[in-house]
């Protein structure tokens, strides 16, 4: 089996990411996932585990944690979704696994996946098969640490298959997927908190909603888990900001003041990095040799493509997969912090950005537009190639109701980028946002049909060269 054959097999399974419903009416259950792993002889066991959930920042936080662990330990990172290749979802020392490893792993699990999929407890989803592939590769490679990002929520997610975990990390929680996870922040926190296992260390990031902390505290008490409240125990002081990175000082009650640098842009990434550092600090208490000396290097070397990624500078073109109102607000803050709206001087300078915007149908387009409109000189809406893309008519209707000025539409990303360049007139900064599907398409249009992808930045040259 080669890599293309392996991917084609996975894509034959029901996939709620790519479409609103898969080839079969039913979707995969957690019990099915556990049965699949049992038939594979429990590949999720036998190594140490960090399990990460949250509404915002869990991908970046997972990458920071994995980078730190990988300094001294064999580590595999599992995240979703991907931009260009399914290999991005399984990273070894911040780089996608080899096509041969991917294909060989799928070949090993395929008979078992087919057996469960066609049996009384099927179907098996693409995400479920990918998750089992990750665990199988961890076993085959004899990995010491597995860092696992939840796909959706926590309670019924296909990754919620552990009897014990060393560390649970919960990033900022906000309203999302309310039809599945709950209608309030407290309900969503309870769903995500279901991944907390007896005796785990639980690191809770700073939260915007006061409902979250009490819920997680209660779950920790019930499970006998130790809670670390990052907001209470760590203080961040930003020190230097450029469009190639930022530095900050971090004070904790136990370890005092430390200095760190990031190539990830945006104040929200300071919070994500702090959450990851708090997680490593908690692990270091029992294992002083883990990554203490290398922690600053581990944090600085991370850059996640498609998250405040600057791909051009004359004028600026930025890619960011902000897919809800909170993420869009964080994007606006990050743009103002790192990227000038215009390269023009004097009276010809306009105070705003040109946005290329496309979202999935299940997203709250109103909250996204409310965040972007005040800092835009123009918004060009378009549809990604995804089956789940929101129709332009709906985006236009909401933009109309909000009185968004200089709003335009194009049917696809290529045309939208062309129109955005016309509106920018070589002076205004352009930002592509709203959906990682759209970001992936823009990235391929701007950087080539097969752009390089890695979570490791080139520290000497700056974030724009992260894939050199």
Tens-place pLDDT, residues 95-127? 999 999 999 999 999 999 999 999 999 999 999
Between these two residues, 457 and 442, which has the higher pLDDT value? 442
**Cβ of 133: how many Cβ atoms within 10 Å?**
27
Classify strands 234-242 and 226-229 as parallel, antiparallel or unpaired. unpaired
443, 310 contact by CB (below 8 A): no
The phi and psi torsions of 302 (rounded to 5 degrees) equal -85, 135
Q: How many CB atoms lie within 10 A of CB 405?
A: 11
- DSSP annotation of 456 reads B
Give yes or no for a contact between 328 and 97, defined as CB atoms under 8 angstroms apart: no
Average pLDDT over residues 331-342: 95
Sheet holding 90-92: strands in order across?
95-96, 90-92, 75-78, 145-149, 48-53, 167-170, 201-204, 226-229
Question: pLDDT at position 347, please?
Answer: 55
Q: Which domains does the chain have, with CATH numbers?
A: 3-300 (3.40.1190.10), 309-452 (3.90.190.20)
Phi and psi torsions of 320, nearest 5°: -155, 125
Check residue 22 and give its pLDDT. Answer: 43
Please give the Cα distance from 158 to 155 (Å, whole number): 9
The alpha-carbon radius of gyration of the chain (Å, integer) is 22
**Alpha-carbon gap, residue 341 to 333, rounded angstroms:** 12
What pLDDT score was predicted for residue 380? 98
Least confident of 138-152, 170-184, 364-378, 453-467: 453-467
Judged against a pLDDT cut of 90, whether residue 464 lies above it is answered with no
Render pLDDT for 276-293 as a digit per residue (tens, 0 to 9).
999 999 999 878 778 888
Asked whether the predicted pLDDT for residue 244 surpasses 70, the reply is yes
pLDDT in tens, 15-28: 878 764 444 345 78
- pLDDT of 181-225, one tens digit each? 888 999 999 999 999 999 999 999 999 999 999 999 999 999 999
Residue 462 has pLDDT above 60, yes or no: no
Task: Say what the pLDDT of residue 19 is.
Answer: 67
Residue 346 has pLDDT above 90, yes or no: no
CA dihedral in degrees (395, 400, 404, 409; nearest 10)?
A: 50
| pLDDT of 467 | 41
Please report where in the chains the tokens 């332009």 appear, as a residue.
Answer: 392
Cβ-contact 366, 398 below 8 angstroms: yes
């Amino acid at each position: 089996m080669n890599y293309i054959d392996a991917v084609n097999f996975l894509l034959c399974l029901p996939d709620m990411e790519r479409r609103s419903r898969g080839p079969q009416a039913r979707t995969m259950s957690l019990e099915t996932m556990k049965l699949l792993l049992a038939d594979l002889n429990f590949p999720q066991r036998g190594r140490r585990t960090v399990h990460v959930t949250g509404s915002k920042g869990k991908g970046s936080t997972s990458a920071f944690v994995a980078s730190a662990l990988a300094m001294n330990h064999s580590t595999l990172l599992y995240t979703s979704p991907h931009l260009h290749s399914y290999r991005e979802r399984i990273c070894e020392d911040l780089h996608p696994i080899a096509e041969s490893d991917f294909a060989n792993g799928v070949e090993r699990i395929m008979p078992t996946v087919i057996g469960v999929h066609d049996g009384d407890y099927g179907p098996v989803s693409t995400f479920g098969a990918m998750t089992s592939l990750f665990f199988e590769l961890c076993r085959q490679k004899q990995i010491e640490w597995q860092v696992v990002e939840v796909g959706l929520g926590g309670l019924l997610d296909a990754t919620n298959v552990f009897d014990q975990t060393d560390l649970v990390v919960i990033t900022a929680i906000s309203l999302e997927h309310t039809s599945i996870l709950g209608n309030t922040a407290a309900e969503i926190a309870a769903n995500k908190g279901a991944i907390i296992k007896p005796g785990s260390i639980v690191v809770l990031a700073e939260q915007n909603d006061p409902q979250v902390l009490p819920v997680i505290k209660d779950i920790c008490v019930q499970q006998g888990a130790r809670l670390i409240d990052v907001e209470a125990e760590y203080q961040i002081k930003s020190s230097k900001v450029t469009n190639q990175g930022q530095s900050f000082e971090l004070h904790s009650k136990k370890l005092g003041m430390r200095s760190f640098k990031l190539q990830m842009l945006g104040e929200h990434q300071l919070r994500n990095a702090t959450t990851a550092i708090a997680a490593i600090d908690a692990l270091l208490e029992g294992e002083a040799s883990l990554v203490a000396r290398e922690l600053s290097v581990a944090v600085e070397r991370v850059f996640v493509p498609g998250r405040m990624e600057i791909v051009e500078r004359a004028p600026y073109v930025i890619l960011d997969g902000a897919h809800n109102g909170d993420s869009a607000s964080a994007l606006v803050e990050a743009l103002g912090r790192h990227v000038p709206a215009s390269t023009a001087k004097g009276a010809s300078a306009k105070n705003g950005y040109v946005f290329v915007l496309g979202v999935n149908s299940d997203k709250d387009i109103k909250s996204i537009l409310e965040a972007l409109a005040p800092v835009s000189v123009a918004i060009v809406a378009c549809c990604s190639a995804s089956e789940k893309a929101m129709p332009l008519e709906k985006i236009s209707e909401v933009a109309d109701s909000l009185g968004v000025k200089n709003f335009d539409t194009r049917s696809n990303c290529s045309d939208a980028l062309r129109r955005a360049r016309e509106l920018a007139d070589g002076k205004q900064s352009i930002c592509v946002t709203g959906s990682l599907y759209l970001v992936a398409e823009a990235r391929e249009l701007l950087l080539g049909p097969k752009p390089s992808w890695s979570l490791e930045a080139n520290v000497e040259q700056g974030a724009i060269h992260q894939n050199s």
